Amino acid sequence: MLLDDPDSSALITDVDGTLCRIVGRPERAVVPARARTSLGTLAERLEVVACVSGRPVEVVSRMVDVPSLTYIGNHGLELIEPGGSAPVVELDAEDAALTSAFIREHDSPFWVSAGIRVEDKGPIQALHWRGADERTEATVHEIADLAAASGLDIHWGRKVMEIRPPGMEGKAGAVESLLEGRGIRTVAFAGDDRTDLEAAIRLKEMKESGEIDRLVLVAVSSTEGPPELVEIADVVVDDPDRWLEMLQGLAG
Ligand SMILES: [Mg+2]
């Protein structure tokens, strides 16, 4: 379907939990070489092939390492165009500094002993607690309440809570602006988490309003991901490897 009219087709994929498995420490996640080959081939044919991730864009472009793709990082705040290297940042400096100021003010040694790891993603601060227990999760909820009371946005993912500057549109806004003005009629989108659900819902709305004609939503299901994503998906797979097989099939 995508290859019927490649000049008006886009393939957009999340990375962690979709192109590669989630691992205990995010810095150890590896995108398999066969994903690289398939995405590179598809990028030669399709109008848009993009990776949309919650990670900083420079990190995600290094992980996937196919220069001909579009990379969107930090849930839409940062972009690297095909062949580009310097990221474009879509946020003013004052808003970008709000979340790190919150962490500076509230960070405590107790967070580390409770098993919380703070990932400094510039404008977004992510608190990870994979491997820690329910008490730690309760602590993360308390921190989230504090951040929300300070006017910051809170987003929950798979064993991660993100503190974001207010008013961010996330991946939903990112996919919409990625497709804007490019004559895209067919979109395939794959994801596994709550932020991907927001993008999937936006794409469905775009299809209903006639902005695009065809949409294939692929959900990589897991016990940690949102059930709603599985409910609205056209294709559900239970492992990133299955999505990689589909990409290989598309690439021929
Ligand atoms: Mg993911």
C-alpha 77 chain-centroid distance: 11
Which ranges in the chain belong to alpha helices (H)? 33-45, 57-64, 93-96, 98-106, 109-113, 134-149, 170-179, 194-208, 227-232, 240-251
d(CA 43, CA 67): 10
The pLDDT of residue 201: 98
How far is the centre of ligand 1, averaged over its atoms, from the C-alpha of 194 (Å)? 8
How far is the centre of ligand 1, averaged over its atoms, from the C-alpha of 184 (Å)? 24
CB count within 10 Å of CB 117 equals 16
Q: Which domains does the chain possess?
A: 2-90+169-251 (3.40.50.1000), 93-164 (3.30.70.1020)
pTM, to two decimals: 0.89
How far is the centre of ligand 1, averaged over its atoms, from the C-alpha of 249 (Å)? 22
How far is the centre of ligand 1, averaged over its atoms, from the C-alpha of 65 (Å)? 17
To the nearest 10°, the Cα dihedral for 186, 189, 195, 198? 30
d(CA 217, CA 190): 6
The pLDDT of residue 168: 86
The pLDDT of residue 56: 93
CB count within 10 Å of CB 225 equals 22
How far is the centre of ligand 1, averaged over its atoms, from the C-alpha of 236 (Å)? 14
d(CA 201, CA 207): 10
The pLDDT of residue 85: 83
Cα angle 93, 94, 96; round to 5: 60
How far is the centre of ligand 1, averaged over its atoms, from the C-alpha of 228 (Å)? 15
Helix, strand counts (H, E) of the chain: 10, 12
How far is the centre of ligand 1, averaged over its atoms, from the C-alpha of 14 (Å)? 5
How far is the centre of ligand 1, averaged over its atoms, from the C-alpha of 86 (Å)? 23
How far is the centre of ligand 1, averaged over its atoms, from the C-alpha of 108 (Å)? 28
- Rg of the chain over all Cα atoms, to the nearest angstrom: 18
The pLDDT of residue 92: 85
How far is the centre of ligand 1, averaged over its atoms, from the C-alpha of 205 (Å)? 21
d(CA 243, CA 58): 23
How far is the centre of ligand 1, averaged over its atoms, from the C-alpha of 164 (Å)? 17
* pLDDT, one tens digit for every residue, the chain (252 residues): 777 899 999 999 999 999 999 998 888 999 999 999 999 999 999 999 999 999 999 999 999 999 999 999 999 999 999 998 888 888 888 999 999 999 999 999 999 999 999 999 999 999 999 999 999 999 999 999 999 999 999 999 999 999 999 988 899 999 999 999 999 999 999 999 999 999 999 999 999 999 999 999 999 999 999 999 999 999 999 999 999 999 999 998
How far is the centre of ligand 1, averaged over its atoms, from the C-alpha of 62 (Å)? 16
How far is the centre of ligand 1, averaged over its atoms, from the C-alpha of 104 (Å)? 27
CB count within 10 Å of CB 35 equals 25
d(CA 43, CA 28): 26
Q: Give the up-direction half-sphere exposure of residue 154: CA atoms within 13 A in the CB hemisphere.
A: 17
